[in-house]
Structure 1
Amino acid sequence: MHQFRKTAIAVAAAQIALLASGAVFAQTTDGAAASAPAAGAQVPGGANMVVVTGQRAALNSAQKLKQNSDEIVDSIVADDIGKLPDRSVTEVLQRVVGVTIDRTMAKGDPEHYSVEGSGVNIRGLTYVRSELNGRDSFSANGGRSLNFEDVPPELMAGVDIYKNPSAEQIEGGIGGLVNLRTAMPFDFKGRKVAVSLQTTRSELKKGKMSPSGSIMYSDRWKTGFGEIGALVDLAYSESATRTDAFQVEPYYPRTDVEPGRTVWIPKGSQWRTLNFDRKREGAYGALQWKKDATLSSSLTYFKSKYKMQWDEQAIFSAASPYNIRVAPGATYDAKGALLTGTLSDPIDGGIDFGADTRAANRISSTTDVSWHVSWRPTSSWAFDTDVQRIKAKSTSFDSTVATAIKMQQENIDLRGSVPTLNFSDADRAYLANPNNYYWSFTQEHMDRSTADEWAVKADAKYTFDDPVLRDVRFGVRFTDRDAVTQNSNPSYNWAAITMPWQGELGGRLAYLGDPRFSNQTQVYGFPNFFNNNTNVPALVFPNTSLATGYPASYTALHQYYNVLCAQAGNTCSTWKAASFGTDPAGTNSQSEKTGAAFAQLRFGFDDLKYPVDGNVGLRYVKTDMKARGYIVFNPTGIPNDPAGFPTTGAAIPVIAASSSAREFDNSYHNVLPSLNLRMKATEKLQFRFGAAMGISRPDFSQLQGYTTLSENVDSTLVSNAAGTPLSRIVNNVSLTGTSDGNPNLRPIQSRQVDLTAEWYFAKAGSLTMAVFNKDLKDIIVTQSYSYPLQGTDGKSYNFNVTAPVNGARGRARGMEIAYQQYFDMLPGWLSGFGLQANYTYVDGKQKLYNPVYSVYCSGSDGGTSNLNLNLNGCDIDGKTFGDLPLQGLSKNTYNVALMYDKEKFSARLAWNWRSKNLQGVNVNGTRGTDGTDTNPASSTVGQHNVAWALPTYADSYGQLDASVFYNISENLSLGLEAQNLTDAKYKQLMQQGIGLKGRAWFVSGPRYTASLRYSF
């Protein structure tokens, strides 16, 4: 880092020397050699992009950028962002052809819905690079890209989505590149002031209004030493929403319910309500200076801050699935899955359900300071240099406090669009009575992350005076990045308060009816549940203050265990809070240095019947990564038998316990050629061809260097007829290991080809088509590899370690078509109507280098397969699934928007839809079918401890949004926006041998926003 900073200082000194030289200036885009132009800057082909007003003019400006770009790009300019019916950058991106967004809070947590969307896929792939003004931008979350929902859209001048790379673009986006652009002072002719105010109301949450606002000031002045421009932009936004959800547990095969047949019964259905509040703040400032025509400089500061908090009241089934009984009269579908029936559990005294109150918060920020200098010493030569410093941090806390109840029965009807639960008045009264609940458990999790980077770039361009050669560009770029993520230890600290299986309590439970344990609970009635479309019983939950009052509230709750344990006359354990502490298992620390060089030639054959232009280039990048971690081995061995006790069978490796700090080095280099061609059939019709190689580096969360090695000895005691042990037989010794990361991972690589046809038949009128193919290799999947460890006997023993590996290849291929037009040929006011429509088809597949397929996938006991080896998951009955699609890939996606823009009115009615897509396999943890949350050491098909890992999908989903704006005057406008007008339901599916079954249903209701904009 010290040497890197010296380099950065040297480059900065060179920039100062250039500024002091007094040469003339010409305005250019910051980072022009690497990405899309900023508003008002020179774009490829000589077109100037300026800040525009009006929906029609905005579409025309974005269309010109697409038409004149060297690469395949789709853009949305500032005014278009402001008038789309969207409240986040993520929602804006979903309108672009080939782009889809996730609607869950995190990829590993599909049980929680995100109203404003989260992750972004391009052409079905998650490998998306994010940039701000052509430079790195990222969040501190263990990944490499930016959380787009964290960024205030009010600060954006435009968004560009690149589908194919060129050599001058920074490597890292196989799926595509999203570049966020901010305005610069020289984008405006003089002083510019813009103010916006909004207030939003969620129909489902009711009552609470969420304010938002932004203000921008920009001006420029001529001085004796050149022209200076300054811009300040501030944004603040709140959002308060609510999500209601139903869930159905996985289906279990039962032969003891219906005589002579196997039927599949879930262990219950459950419901929840989540209240979500977020605050988003943004600050942006820019300074520009120019002398005349050859020398310029700019300094920008950008900071986004995101704070969210949510709390949830949720009931979930904790029942033993094979103890569930089904009352006579139940109905089933053709494959034996339950449709309607009444469930009970007389064996356990009722169906065990937990009533959770969960609270979570996250605070994250990204700060970017960048300095850019452009020097044009002659008409042929141009030099651009950049120095960037970016810092990101994030902290989060997740807390759950639960009561529990034994529900006497649950009547389920799964035939409709959502589950219907029927309860008698007596059942409802029972569920609303606090005396029937006891304190169950607590669980907390904390994490904190930091990431920072220095980046230095120097580019040069030589312009030819030649009929064919346009210019040659070349440059270098260096980065130094550190990333540290710490998770609390234990990561998710689950601890029982009182549970029926705790023998030391002597059957005692901390019931709320006992005055000693009647602490801060509420009867919650789920008002307006699913927008009054369904009715569920009231339940008793802990107050949210108990979840947010950690650790004092947890200490008080766990005292109930101590009271009952002492009453039973037993020794009691002590609850310990999770902490960051010094345990290296919770720390993921890496540093990464990269060096890149590129050369790119632009050319054009204008004298051909059909002129052809384009660029060809080569990018070379070297990556040096270091990960700091530990290798830990704790031998299990066999029980401490008496001296001389004979042991036979398999040999037990002699390996000493160890815990050693390690530093892992991983260096690799990549050569990335690219070719982009454009042929102009006419001034309005053109075709493009692109071919390139690309990479996407592993996320930092996948590079963790902490590995736990284990020795598992399976042995049998041999006894005489009297039951006296005589000897021990060692049946099998398995050496295994687990790790959440692998510091030796290499980047995913792609070879990609793009072909487009583009017809620009009018201003803001175009029809474009594209076909593409991306061949992928070294896809990162979780499988096993061999890790050698030397024993005390000098022998080397191989451990079968399950971790992320470069273990698969795949492809994504498909087509896009996009159309937009205003119908100017219509008479009068009808000429204000327009239409936007686009459709994307993507077909993708993934194939393991070393596939593990078998009839059963549940054993880690030396059987034919291992759950951790099977990427495609395991069903409840132990059977595996076939090949699965790429995660996050929807085969079909489309947008349709009816637009109107005439005189003082501007409006849009927009529909977005995407088809089913895989969310993941085992995204909520591996569980045994006996209801435990642990991965059993061994299993036998037919017994109740078979492990399972089900693939889950997001079902097809469409949402209707709208906006209308009225220009009261040239400077003042009033607007109304609405999201999710049709109150769409988001459905999650789970894959089992009986087909795709409904797992969860979410509703968030419509949102309405009123806005006022003033500018001069």
Structure 2
Amino acid sequence: MKQFKKTAIALGLAQMAAMSGMAVAQTAPADSGQTVIVTGQRAALQSAQKIKQNSDEIVDSIVADDIGKLPDRSVTEVLQRIVGVTIDRTMSKGDPEHFSVEGSGVSIRGLSYVRSELNGRDSFSANGGRSLNFEDVPPELMAGVDIYKNPSAEQVEGAVGGLVNLRTAMPFDFKGFHGAISGQETYSELKKGKSSPSMSGMVSNRWKTPIGEVGALLDLAYSESGTRTDAFQVEPYYPLKDAAGKTIWVPKGAQWRTLEFNRRREGAYGALQWKANDQLSSSLTYFKSRYTMTWDEQAIFAQSSPYNIQVTNGTYDSKGALLTGTLTDTKDGGINFGDDTRSSTRKSDTTDLSWNLRWRPNDRWTVTTDLQHIRASTRSLDSTVATGVQMPKEQLDLTGNVPNLIFDAADRANLADPKNYYWAFTMEHQDKSVGHETAWKTDAKYDFDHPVLRDIRFGVRLTDRDALTQNTNPSYNWSPISQPWQLGWNISGLAYLSDPRFSGNTNLHTFNNFFNGKVSVPSVVFPNVSLAQGFPDSYAALHKYHDILCAEVSTSCDTWKAATFGTDPSGTNDQTEKTQALYSQVRFGWDNLKYPIDGNVGVRYVKTASTAHGYTVFKSTAPNIPAGNTTTGVTVPVIAPFSKAEDYENNYHNVLPSLNLRMKASDTLQFRFAFAGALSRPDFDKLQAYTEMEQTASTTTNTATNVTTINSVSQMGKGSGNPYLKPTTSRQMDLTAEWYFAPAGSFTAAVFNKQLKDIIVNQTYLYAIPDVNGVKQNFAVTGPINGAKGHARGIELAYQQYFDKLPGLLSGLGLQANFTFVDSKRDLYKPVYQAYCTSENSAANVNLTLNGCDTNGTTFGNLPLENLSRQSFNLALMYDKGPWSARLAYNWRSKSLQAVNVNGTQGTDGTDTNPASPDVGKQNVVWGLPVWADAYGQLDASMFYKINEHMSLGFEAQNVTNSQFKQLMQQSVGMKGRAWFVTGPRYTAQLRYTF
């Protein structure tokens, strides 16, 4: 009996831990005479396993073994450990040129349609999207993370891929007073120099008072991160002709860069709880996350015309793509390179204030009501100042793991001499965004006294949300300081640093420890970082050089003007959205069957009413017919130019059924079947209501007869967004098998199939406006539409176990592994629009952003869904014994499509029939390449030692093996290397004290 009581108490504590999300799991072996207290990593796994096993839905969890002790340096890195979850390694989807050490976007089962929550409530960042930037959130504030793979009716809509719920602790999670403080110091091997501190502290207590029990919790976190990324890049390959007339594919150059990244993350979380009695309780929570990021980059990039490049001593692969050779450009006096100093800053914050009330009027009814207000904002300045230089030659060897750029002493001396550089250009971009949401919901539950029916739940949820994003106009304000084409192609007349009037404010960047000292690249003269950070005053000073040169050559030059907010409606995206949702869900179970079955079935109805505040603009460049001339040919519809503000209403409703079934084959083996309808609303940046249409005409005039012939009329346009987009929807099914053979041991398998409709793609649609006679005229507008369907289906396998039966110290060993395979397909509703690529003045080029076009004008076949790896896995070797806890974890994902037609891999082919006047006679092919992330794996490690019951010492290492991240660009000659990134290992020492 005594042993039974101890075991019962231990199991009860484990269940409480699972319910609260706190990892204080307890176990007691049957053959032991006393309770075994399980702590550390093993306790966290036990709690997470209990959550998964006892959940009504398909869920995977990671639980901190104590508050503030998630096992990675960011929430994004935590999420990648979960089966079916992958993370992006670039800073943003639209800019794959910049690597993110801590990761960025999250995909679940290959889909980026992910809903984010904080304690079961909405949470988002102000970035034009709908979800939270998980890298912005301090992991020190989290008690656990839950990933729901298949939604139920009571869960808030929006999770086609999955739902990520971040959980924080509450005062009543602890028996009484509890506190913890921790400090960390992180060192980046590649960056060297100053280390980055982090610290966090939490205190919680509860008291008996005359008005009931009261609890309070305060949690604060502060962390810095300083990292560096070194990179090589190869420009896209262009088709050229060698001396024998054979087609060869040659990049116009290769380049190198280094980026210094500094991040500061601050978080504050507070919670109050009150419990009057078993019938009435309430809570109030406040959450604040603030993220400040700054990075400075020195990057050199090739900018010559690709058709001016010559190759000597070239070797090529079987498809004619360059392997080795020396590039020159005699037409331009050398290969023209730009040398960027770029500085980017972003400040973001999210504030959440939420109140909850729970009332149980009797043993059957439970009513909860919840009120939340959230505000998110962000602001950014991206500033670039560049010099230019003519590189005499560049010798390339593209056969190795990274490009080998070979420079002789003369080449290095040329690049190191400031006299060979001139001031080239400036470019700035600013954006700011703010979003608000007020959400209210009330849920009711009635518990049945019935052998089958468990309870019925129903509720209502109302939201009112707005999102305002503003970009400067022009969005990226590229402004020349001195360019050859400005000065009649007089290369010697540029603003060279050798001229005392233009000298100074530069530095020789030596690229020390490049690629951890494994690669040597030449030093380059760059503008000082202070010039990029000194916008706008530094820009105004630099553009005075521009004015001096224009005066010398008697050329009329534009005066520089800084990009500003609010001068063009195309830079403003103003949205409001209201939703109304109702749901009902019944929980049931047959406990007396040989194999008990339980589950829930329900339906959720949601109505969405959105308004986009925007503009419609029409411009006509149709030529004026000379006075007295007669016209023949095509008739030009007469439409008066206009720009008018308009509100676009978009209302829709969705019915989302769900079914979750579980069959218990034994106490340790169970199976699940789930079916659900899900939706994911378009991101707000896709809903921008700005449409610009233009009418052009081709004419021929016969001066002898005074007859003007109108040959053709083109009516085209582009949409910054589409305010009438519908949500992407899914019908999805899951089948799982779950075997829990030990408190922290399990093997689970899942098969899933998500059938997607109304996937958003960029394509052409018709937009009609009336002419002066009231006849509607159709314009072919390019923009986002619900233009495709598809699927994501696959399998998930997960296993974890501690090998307790091994002798002695080996009994602390454990293994955790998971594997995901996802197959995807996307079918266009109107595939005819993607049949070909043509010149820049043709209507066909509007479709480039979907499948892309090569530099020779050919298109690519159907591409998979973006950010989807067909295979991914995690493998972790664990150890928990006595005071020691350790983990060696490897994460890997296969190749995935990042984006199409993005920065650095799109443009025109540079063909020019009149080089003396580059704006005349162009027959350019517009091109944009698919960019892929190559397969990537990273090894991380951690080790903790518990000094006593209150103090522990830890050591963590990220990217232990110095993994290299590679990007690929898809071309007709195959997948070619686009970029190679190295960030080096990071090491963190941690001291923690609990009381």
Asked if the contact 1:781–1:805 (Cα under 8 Å) also holds between the matched residues in 2, the reply is yes
1:26-48 deviations in Å (ceiling 9; x for gaps): xxxxxx9xxx96536999xxxxx
Query: 1-side partners of 2:772 and 2:994: how far apart?
Result: 77
Which digits, 9 at most, give the CA deviation of each residue in 1:584-634, with x for residues without a partner? 211100100000000000000011111000000000000000000000111
Question: For residue 381 of structure 2, what is the aligned residue in structure 1?
Answer: 397
Q: What pairs up with 1:140-539 in 2 under 5 angstroms?
A: 140-255=126-241, 257-327=242-312, 329-503=313-487, 508-539=493-524
Secondary structure in structure 1 of the residue aligned to 2:550: helix
Deviation at 1:853? 6.0
- State whether structure 2 residue 769 is matched by structure 1 residue 789: yes
- From 638, 644, 649, give the equivalent of 1:665: 649
Asked if 1:705 is matched to 2:689, the reply is: yes
Q: Distance in 1 between matches of 2:226 and 2:303?
A: 31
Q: CA 1:614–1:408 in 2, change beyond 3 Å: closer, same or farther?
A: same
Partners in 2 of 1:999 and 1:80 — Cα distance? 43
Residue in structure 2 matched with residue 820 of structure 1 by the alignment: 800
**Structure 1 residue 651, shift from structure 2 partner:** 1.3
Q: Which of 584, 593, 596 matches 1:599?
A: 584
1:934-967 CA-partner distances (Å, limit 9, x unpaired): xxxx999x98611101000000000000000000
- Does the CA contact (< 8 Å) of 1:705 and 1:741 recur in 2? yes
Q: CA deviation at 1:506?
A: 6.0
CA contact (8 A) 1:352 1:406 kept: yes
Contiguous gaps of at least 5 residues in structure 2: 1-15, 26-36, 913-917
Instruction: Indicate the SS of the match to 1:852.
Output: helix
Check whether the contact 2:763–2:846 (CA below 8 A) recurs between aligned residues.
no
CA–CA distance in 2 between the matches of 1:625 and 1:687? 41
- Alignment of 1:770 onto 2:770: no
Distance 1:81 1:510, change over 3 A: farther
Given that 1:55 and 1:80 are in contact with CA atoms closer than 8 Å, whether structure 2 keeps it comes out as no
Contact 1:955/1:986 (CA < 8 Å) preserved in 2? Answer: yes
Residues 38, 128 of structure 1: alpha-carbon distance in 2 compared, 3 angstrom cutoff: farther
* Whole-angstrom CA distance in 1 between matches of 2:517 and 2:911: 33
Moved more, 130-139 or 869-878: 869-878
Structure 2 residue aligned with 1:976 = 955
Asked if the contact 1:591/1:625 (under 8 Å) is kept, the reply is: yes
Q: Is the 8 A contact 1:374 1:385 kept in 2?
A: yes
Aligned to 1:922: 901
Q: Indicate if the aligned counterparts of 1:852 and 1:870 stay in contact, CA closer than 8 A.
A: no
Deviation at 1:867, TM superposition (A): 4.2
User: Quick check: 1:928–1:944 contact (8 Å CA) kept in 2?
Assistant: no
Deviation at 1:306, TM superposition (A): 0.2
Given residue 629 of structure 1, which amino acid in structure 2 is its aligned partner? G
Deviation, 1:159, is 0.3
Asked whether the equivalents of residues 67 and 141 of structure 2 are also in contact (C-alpha less than 8 Å), the reply is no
Once superposed, what is the RMSD of the aligned Cα atoms? 2.0
SS in 2 for 1:186: helix
Q: SS in structure 1 opposite 2:541?
A: helix
- Aligned residue for 2:42, secondary structure, equals helix
Q: CA deviation at 1:480?
A: 0.2
CA offset digits 1:88-111 (Å, max 9, x no partner): 000000000000000000000000
Distance 1:939 1:472, change over 3 A: farther
Write out per-residue CA displacement over residues 562-591 of structure 1, whole angstroms, 9 at most, x where no aligned residue: 111111223332111001034221110010
Distance 1:931 1:381, change over 3 A: farther
Of residues 62, 70, 79, the one that matches 2:65 is: 79
Could you give the per-residue CA deviations for residues 533-586 of structure 1, whole angstroms, max 9, x where no partner exists?
Answer: 111000000000000000000000000011111112233321110010342211
Contact 2:187/2:195, CA 8 A, preserved across alignment: yes
**Structure 1 Cα separation of the partners of residues 172 and 415 of structure 2:** 65
Q: In 2 relative to 1, CA 634–855 (structure 1 residues): closer, same or farther, beyond 3 Å?
A: closer
How far the C-alpha of 1:418 sits from its partner, in A, is 0.3
Quick one: percent identity of the two aligned structures?
66
The corresponding residue for 2:100 is: 114
Which residue of structure 1 aligns with residue 658 of structure 2? 674
Matches within 5 A, 1:680-695: 680-695=664-679
**Partner Cα distance (1:176, 1:80) in 2:** 26
Tell me what 1:565 maps to.
Answer: 550
- Paired residue for 1:963, among 942, 967, 976? 942
Find 2:725's aligned residue among 745, 749, 754.
745
AA paired with 2:135? E
Shift of 1:80: 7.7
CA distance in 1: counterparts of 2:515 and 2:357, whole angstroms: 56
Q: Is the 8 A contact 2:281 2:359 kept in 1?
A: yes
Which residue does the alignment assign to 1:951? 930
Q: How many residues align?
A: 961
- Hey, what's the Cα distance between the residues in 2 that align with 1:205 and 1:861? 46
Asked whether the equivalents of residues 848 and 901 of structure 2 are also in contact (C-alpha less than 8 Å), the reply is no
1:715 Cα deviation after fit: 2.4
Q: Which amino acid is the alignment partner of residue 437 of structure 1?
A: Y
Tell me what 1:579 maps to. Answer: 564
Q: Which position in structure 1 is the counterpart of 2:818?
A: 838
State the distance in 1 between where 2:956 and 2:555 align: 63
SS at match of 1:643: coil
Q: CA deviation at 1:206?
A: 0.2
- Tell me which residue corresponds to 1:733: 713
CA 1:216–1:835 in structure 2 vs 1: closer, same or farther (change >3 Å)? same
Q: Is the 8 A contact 1:857 1:867 kept in 2?
A: no
Find the counterpart in structure 2 of residue 895 from structure 1.
874
Question: Which of residues 101, 116, 124 in structure 2 aligns to 1:130?
Answer: 116
Q: Please give the alpha-carbon distance, in whole angstroms, between the structure 2 residues aligned to 1:939 and 1:177.
A: 51
CA separation of 1:684/1:96 partners in 2, compared to 1, >3 Å: closer, same or farther?
A: same
CA distance in 1, matches of 2:47, 2:188: 33
Mapped contact 1:452–1:481 kept (Cα < 8 A): yes
Q: Distance between the aligned counterparts of 1:161 and 1:409, measured in 2? A: 53
The residue that corresponds to 1:39 in the other structure is: 21
User: Counterparts of 2:108 and 2:264 in 1: how far apart (Å)?
Assistant: 27
Q: Following superposition of structure 1 onto structure 2, how do residues 7-18 of structure 1 map, counting pairs within 5 Å?
A: none
Structure 1 residues 193 and 146, CA gap change in structure 2 (3 angstroms): same
| Cα distance between partner residues in 2 of 1:1013 and 1:311 | 33
Please say if 1:95 is aligned against 2:81: yes
Q: In 1, Cα distance between the equivalents of 2:840 and 2:250? A: 26
With structure 1 as the length reference, what TM-score do the two structures score? Answer: 0.93
Structure 1 residue identity aligned to 2:855: I
Deviation at 1:647, TM superposition (A): 3.0
Deviation at 1:859, TM superposition (A): 3.6
1:260: how far off?
3.9
Amino acid at match of 1:355: D
- Alignment match, 2:595: 610
Alignment-mate amino acid for residue 850 of structure 1: K
The residue type paired with residue 485 of structure 2 is: W
For 1:843-863, what per-residue CA distance to the aligned partner results, in whole angstroms no more than 9, with x for missing partners? 001011001367641246557
Residue 18 of structure 1: aligned partner? none
Q: How far does residue 261 in structure 1 lie from its aligned partner after superposition?
A: 1.7
The structural deviation recorded for 1:65 is: 0.5
Distance 1:378 1:741 in 2: 52
Change (3 A) 1:261 1:881: same
